[in-house]
Structure 1
Amino acid sequence: MFQITASTTVAPAGVALFDQENYKVDYGESPTTDAAGLLIRSVDLHQTALSERLLTIGRAGVGVNNIPLDKAVQQGIVVFNAPAANANGVKELVLAALAIGARPMLPASDWVHGLKGNDIDVQVEKGKKAYVGTELLGKQLGVIGLGHVGGLVANSASSTAFGMHVVGYDPYIQVDTAWNLSHHIHHAKNVSQVLQDSDYVTIHVPLTDETAEMLNAEAIAQMKPGSVLLNFARDDVVDEAAIIAALDRGHLRQYITDFATPKLIHHPKVLCFPHIGGSTDAAETNSAKMVVQTMKNYLETGNIRNSVTFPDTVMDFQAPLRLTLIHRNVPNMVGRMTEVLANYDLNIVNMVNRSNGDYAYTMIDLDALEAKRLQRIANKMAQIENVVRVRVIEQPK
């Protein structure tokens, strides 16, 4: 039976997928000593000691900046997230933000709520001229990043419902995502082509060394004067100081973001939301269900999907036993593993190896073995230099 520590902020519908026959769930913000899995949402683990028994961490959401990924990999802990579960929720908020960027709805509403007297209708008719906006129909939307969220935004904005001309850029677009994109979307060859003629620009890229401050002063200078910038990706993919400077000189008309900072929240041309892109009941439930399913799959079969620390590694489990090894990605590791098995006169039923930077993951399926002999083999595997973790998994019944 696997021990799971689950945060109370994770949607109950997800936690409920841990069946009582194979799992015991406790609630808390850090893993108990015996926990094999830790299921969290927003708790910060950077100062938390991770037990040697911990096999996996599941983040019921997309971002994993609250998890010490390097430390987890070094300890052989596989980290999962839910990359697309909240995509629709974020998409809908971005579309709403586009409408807000075109029409001064929030200032107009604030003004109306401040009216006093018995002639409200007269005041409304006289004052509404101050809140004339524009329309999205026929305007150009530039989408940087056409992944789960960016692709949905691009498709919706280019539909007849919005009628926008959409230009998108993503050098790392996946095949499945590309197939789902509307043929109305124009594919730019670089970021500059997106920025130069777009009335609205929305960015949807993960935060990496390459994307940090991707929209800096040089990039913003290429944007169309009077354009609106939307950021519902990560706060650090833009240069905040450069944005404020562009707003102050009138080059940018407005900045709408899901990431509030002290310098942004009081700027008259900035609209900040409190990081609510994925904060819908449906998104939180979908995220919890998705990450629990991937955690269970890993714990019960060793298969990895949607991990942020290891590549997808999936193999049909048709043999009685499976060995899984997390190890450093150095030469001859697979050879050393097969040498151990050869010394015990064992045949490999099936095998797969996937690497991801400095670390790799190997699964080896074997025929049935006597328990003591199997344990000796697992111990030998664990003694191989650069092996971090070895697991023995029996074929699920």
Structure 2
Amino acid sequence: MYKVHCMNVIAKAGTDKLGDGYELTDKLEDADAVLVRSASMHELELPEGLMAIARAGAGVNNIPLEECAKKGIVVFNTPGANANGVKELVLAGMLLAARDISGGIQWVHENANDPEVAKKTEKKKKGFAGTEIGGKTLGVIGLGAIGVLVANAARNLGMKVLGYDPYISIEGAWNLDHHVRRVNDLDTLLEESDYITIHVPAMDSTKGMIDAAAIGKMKEGTVFLNFARDLLVDEEAMAAALESGKVRHYVSDFPNALSVKMKNAIVVPHLGASTEEAEENCAVMAAKEIRQYLEEGNISNSVNFPKIDLGPMKSESRLAIFHKNIPNMIGQISTTLSSIGVNIANMSDKSKGEFAYSLIDAESHIDQEVLDRLKAIEGVYRVRKIQ
């Protein structure tokens, strides 16, 4: 019986997918796997028996990835599961920036008790007039699951769309509307777009990428939308651009001490993936990832270990071995197994950065001696017998 601990409220549609052989536990120390959304795990002491963490969402900055990797704890996320919810909010953000809808609604609330409100509306509405997004140019930085949906939707709304992503996947390229013009350098997108939206992960190479120099290349009066991570934008530079009018509006899904006080900023309380559908999709995907790994050792959508799939287990036993990505590890593993009479029926080894993962189907029973011998190999982090 596998035990799963939920660090946040996880949609029932997801926990129901765990099925027989699983039970939920309130105690982290008893957990074989963890389901988490936004709760921070950096300060926690991770139990020795923990094998997997699944983030019901895309970002994993709340999880200590390297520590988990060194303990052989697979960390999953759910890319694309909340993409439609984020896409729809990006479109809403563009419309809020194009027309002063929020200001108009606020005026109506403030004048709700005025018997002349209907008459005054006809005079006042000119103050909330805006522009249409049809015919304008949207620049999409990052053409992953969300970026592609945003680009395609904007095309359907009559916008011209530029896309920039030097690492676009084959799937992303196939799904992208053929009318979206892909550019090979970011400067072109910055210089030609009326609206710009960013959809890239927060990494050392992307943090602060929208800085004063990048903003300086934008059109006068550009609208910039950030529904990815606040760390991608140098918000002090953005505040200065809003003050000068270089940027007309900064639409952000990340309230913080600086963004909430910016002139002409439209700040949303982190609602990108806050839809019933997105929460259910993420929970279901996370539960399936956990089951696939715990029951078969196969890994998909991990952020600290490589993708690997040996299919359903058909041999006597299956071994999952986490180790450093260094020369001769496979040789040492296979030699160790051979020396104690274990024949390898099928094997796959993949690496991701400094970490690697071997999945081995053996034709004979695996006992504790085999596990101990493998664990004794220098550079092996963890050995798990699937069955």
TM-score, normalised with respect to structure 2: 0.97
Cα distance in 2 between the residues matched to 1:187 and 1:290: 30
Cα deviation code 1:332-370 (max 9, x no counterpart): 00000010122123321100000111110001111132x
1:74 to 46, 70, 73: 70
Q: SS at 1:17's partner residue?
A: helix
Please name the residue that 1:216 is paired with: 211
Query: 1:318: how far off?
Result: 2.4
Cα distance in 1 between the residues matched to 2:173 and 2:237: 32
Please name the residue that 1:321 is paired with: 317
Cα distance in 1 between the residues matched to 2:71 and 2:188: 43
Aligned-partner residue type, residue 66 of structure 2: D
Q: Is the 8 A contact 1:8 1:27 kept in 2?
A: no
Cα distance in 2 between the residues matched to 1:102 and 1:5: 44
Q: Are 1:238 and 2:233 an aligned pair?
A: yes
Counterparts of 1:175-190 in structure 2 under 5 Å? 175-190=170-185
Cα distance in 2 between the residues matched to 1:141 and 1:208: 24
Cα deviation code 1:169-218 (max 9, x no counterpart): 00110001110000010001111111101100000000001100010000
Please name the residue that 1:17 is paired with: 17
1:101 to 97, 101, 109: 97
Cα deviation code 1:64-103 (max 9, x no counterpart): 1111111111111101111111000000000111111111
The share of aligned pairs that are identical, in percent, is: 44
Runs of 4+ in 1 over 6 A off after TM superposition: none
Cα distance in 2 between the residues matched to 1:48 and 1:8: 15
Please name the residue that 2:372 is paired with: 379
Please name the residue that 2:26 is paired with: 27
Q: SS at 2:54's partner residue?
A: strand
Q: Are 1:362 and 2:358 an aligned pair?
A: yes
Q: SS at 2:260's partner residue?
A: coil
Please name the residue that 1:300 is paired with: 295
Please name the residue that 1:257 is paired with: 252
2:162 to 145, 167, 177: 167
Q: SS at 1:16's partner residue?
A: helix
Please name the residue that 2:271 is paired with: 276
Kindly report the root-mean-square deviation, in angstroms, between the aligned alpha carbons of the 2 structures.
1.1
Cα deviation code 1:16-38 (max 9, x no counterpart): 2222x31121136xx12x31111
Query: 1:8: how far off?
Result: 4.7
Cα deviation code 1:29-63 (max 9, x no counterpart): xx12x311111111111110001111011111111
User: Structure 2: which 5+ residue stretches go unaligned?
Assistant: none
Cα distance in 1 between the residues matched to 2:74 and 2:155: 38
Please name the residue that 1:247 is paired with: 242
Deviates more, 1:131-140 or 1:258-267: 258-267
Cα deviation code 1:282-331 (max 9, x no counterpart): 10011011011001110000000011111111112322211110001111
Cα distance in 2 between the residues matched to 1:118 and 1:269: 31
Q: Is the 8 A contact 1:80 1:291 kept in 2?
A: yes
Query: 1:113: how far off?
Result: 1.5
Cα distance in 2 between the residues matched to 1:346 and 1:264: 60
Q: Is the 8 A contact 2:8 2:39 kept in 1?
A: no
TM-score, normalised with respect to structure 1: 0.95
Cα distance in 2 between the residues matched to 1:232 and 1:378: 46
User: Structure 1: which 5+ residue stretches go unaligned?
Assistant: none
Q: SS at 1:138's partner residue?
A: coil
Please name the residue that 1:111 is paired with: 107
Cα distance in 2 between the residues matched to 1:40 and 1:254: 33
Please name the residue that 2:326 is paired with: 330
1:197 to 192, 197, 219: 192
Q: Are 1:146 and 2:130 an aligned pair?
A: no
Q: Is the 8 A contact 2:8 2:35 kept in 1?
A: no
Cα distance in 1 between the residues matched to 2:136 and 2:76: 39
Aligned-partner residue type, residue 44 of structure 1: S
Cα deviation code 1:99-153 (max 9, x no counterpart): 1111110001111211142211210011111111101110000000000101000
